Structure 1
């Protein structure tokens, strides 16, 4: 089997489809991650995200997701925007949610990717993933040499920072495997120091139950009063630990038209956010990841972050 030729083809096809980086790791049990994941769950850092407690074995063993799997192909897709709307003042949403929901955009590319591999190689069994299954994507990307896991638990890449989506193909095709790169965080603690809710209690460990993204997206009940005044105007997600990361000075704007925000998004004042209607919500976020919070969730977040004098 021409392993090198197939590997070269997969990496060239990844670039053709717009992925910034492609790395490949051997599909095997993640022995190092198993005790870390278990300890993280025991500390309750998943908060109300009970789904993270499910499929423990599948998270660690890709052959349970794809029988006979031999390779995990990891991919990075840039979403860094041309304009950072969070610097304009007012209420803020995470950069990844400016445009169309990345699940749909990238999943379509992955389907094309799998089809092209089968055209080139023949019958290849596998599955494509983009933040949609129990796959430890950062661990696989690190093993594939796409970067290292930083102190904020996000994958960091020396050429583009961390403003990218991760995606994977788990396939039963043997390929040439890449090796990991070293950790370049050094003594920097910028992400830990900047987090207003102290969600990074120690390097490389994030307490998900204290993260602003958790409170504004995952938590469906009332936001705890003890974090009132700590959100720095974030109403959907949060980019603080990424914005302060020195490696993100290398981030360059994406070229994906689907990720461009609606033209009216940057113009919304705090007052307009507070009075957002169903029609405006649908117009701005019809195909956006913001729909995960639903209008009611977004309104809850807005009420929570607005200063009391603006609520009167």
Structure 2
């Protein structure tokens, strides 16, 4: 019996935000501005942490790793979105689509795991401050920074492989601005049950798992802070993890809305903009404007640059 290859789709069409019509130009300018600010802000954070002695601590090391991850995360989807907002044919090859799916899923799972590592770091700093520096050695920090990347790319590879085994006979139009799991599964002409089951398991393990650890660490933090008698001590303890808590809440809040619901929606791509563009855009401001040491380091750099450029009399 002759084996027939059902996969006939050679490319996918990403509708992106075609329904905005003339407003796409304004939308392009806004997205481009947010993307550039996100990349520049995170790059500045990395440079400040790497060159300022007062920021040489585990907390800021993990912030710099998180900043590098954020730059990669936004660069997977946003440049392609910016191109599609300016071209008539918004196509992406099948190989490019699955590569984008793999990279996006992997970096998303990496971010979930890294947020859990950062929560663990804050838990140690607040609960056992006297032993914190002896436990969080340079070697351990590097290991804890590397683990999320192995974890994330392992989590991203499995569902992508299952998605690639499905048949795509047409239609090939994706009502989204990047190749995501649910829109691709909806286009499959074969039974997507195994892929959907695998995706659900991976989402629970790669996303919900780290979230449970984060909640456990913060419950431990709240318990430890509640035993501090002075209001000033409580405020100082909470201030060290407030930025991380805000970033985690923004990221997980929007991701849960999109991925936990049983059915996809026409508005998913608009919700996806929040955690792929808006939240990464806000993160440098959250970490910089709410952190006195980062603000001080930035002011010192600007001051020294201005001082050296000023003509000496």
| TM-score, L = length of structure 2 | 0.27
Specify which structure has the higher proportion of strand: 1
Specify which structure has the higher proportion of helix: 2
In our comparison, the structure showing a higher alpha carbon Rg is 2
